[in-house]
Amino acid sequence: MSERQHHLAELFLRLRMATAPLEVEALQQGIWQLWLELDDVALSKRLEAGMRDMAAGEYSQAIAEFTFLIKQLPEYAEGWNKRATAYYLRGEYRSSLNDIAQTLKREPRHFGALSGKATIQRMLGDQRGALRTLRRLARLCPHLPGLQEQLRDVQDRLDESL
C-alpha cells in the first residue's frame, strides 16, 4: 500500500467515526486534497483548467479538459468524477451517471460521487436506487450533515408509494 493509500485509509476510518460537522468537513477536505493530487505537473494543470472552466460555467470546455485527463490517466477516479460533475451541471444526467459508475469502480469510497448519484437518482424518480446509494454513503460517513434527513425523506417517499 502506497503512503497516499495508507493516508486515505486512515482518513476514511476517522471519517466513519467523526460526529461533529466541522470534523466531518475537515476530514472530507483532507480526502479531496489527496484525490486531487497528481504526480504529473502538466496533467495537474489540465485538471485545474477544467475545474476553473467548470466554475466559470464553461461546461463543454471543462468536459474536454477532463476527457483529455481520462484518456491520459484512465484509472484516475477524480478525472471521471470531475467530468461527471460537469455533465451534471450541463443537465446530462445519464452521462453523469455513467462517469459516476466509472469513478466508483476506481474509488468505491468516493462520497462526492455517491452523493451526486443519489441526487440524480432522486431527480429521475429512482427512490429505491437513491435509498441504496444513500445507505452506502452512510456506511462511509454516518454523520454527514443532512444525510439522515435525506434517508428519512427517501424512505418516506417510498412508504407513501406503497
CA 158 to chain CA mean position, Å: 24
- Which pLDDT belongs to residue 1? 81
pLDDT in tens, 114-130: 999 999 999 999 999 99
pLDDT in tens, 82-91: 999 999 999 9
d(CA 101, CA 107): 10
Cα torsion through 50, 52, 58, 59, rounded to 10: 40
pLDDT in tens, 36-77: 999 999 999 999 999 999 999 999 999 999 999 999 999 999
Of residues 103, 99, 101, the one with CA closest to residue 129: 101
pLDDT of 101 > 90? The answer is yes
- Which pLDDT belongs to residue 70? 98
What would the DSSP string read from start to end of 15-81? HHH--SHHHHHHHHHHHHHHHH--S-HHHHHHHHHHHHHHHTT-HHHHHHHHHHHHHH-TT-HHHHH
Going from the C-alpha of 145 to that of each of 22, 27, 107, 142, 149, the distances in angstroms are: 10, 13, 22, 9, 9
- Mean pLDDT, the chain, as a whole number? 96
d(CA 82, CA 130): 20
Topology of domain 40-108, CATH: 1.25.40
- Which pLDDT belongs to residue 13? 96
pLDDT of 161 > 90? The answer is no
Amino acid in position 98: N
pTM equals 0.95
- Which pLDDT belongs to residue 111? 97
- Which pLDDT belongs to residue 81? 98
Start-to-end CA distance of the chain, whole Å, equals 47
